[in-house]
Amino acid sequence: MEHLPEADAETAAFFRDWLETFSGYVREVDYAAARPLFHPDVLAFGTHNDVISGLDTWIATQWDNVWPKTTDFDFQLDRTRILASPDGAMASVLAPWTSTGYHPDGTPFDRPGRATMIFAKGPDGWLCIHSHMSLNRGVPQQSHAERPVKAW
């Protein structure tokens, strides 16, 4: 294989829209709206757990420890890479992101990170089957905002 299997323009546009949609749900702390984007048995890595099996566990142990405690989450689409299998059945999205964290005294700090997500295409469209989101090196692991959850 000479080059990485970059996604075609239509597939890349879909995933850029997906990232924008997901970012909005993170900013709104809307777990219910984000659920349909993921396979119910999704496997994930995150800041608070090594391997997480299943969407409900991921929401309870990762999302709920991060989303209400941060603000301004957004993927950097101009630096995002989207790969797709030649048969169009799987795709990988590699995307840096930014957010704002908060020290215990309420002062904000930049909270950048990166994500790798793997998607499978089924009869109902694309679902994320694996996600690994992690902070960049040196970024404080804890953030101390307390925002309400919009919907579980």
* Phi/psi of residue 87, nearest 5 degrees: -85, -5
Confidence category of residue 86, pLDDT binned at 50, 70, 90: very high
pTM of the model: 0.95
Q: Are 54 and 38 in contact (CB under 8 A)?
A: no
**Count of other CB atoms within 10 angstroms of residue 110:** 11
Domains of the chain: 9-135 (3.10.450.50)
Q: Are 74 and 23 in contact (CB under 8 A)?
A: yes
Q: What is the DSSP string of 25-79?
A: HHHHTBHHHHGGGEEEEEEEE-SS-S-EESHHHHIIIIIHHHGGG-EEEEE-GGG
Over range 49-68, report the average pLDDT: 92
Task: Answer with the residue of higher pLDDT: 46 or 133.
Answer: 133
pLDDT tens profile 7-51: 999 999 999 999 999 999 999 999 999 999 999 999 998 666 678
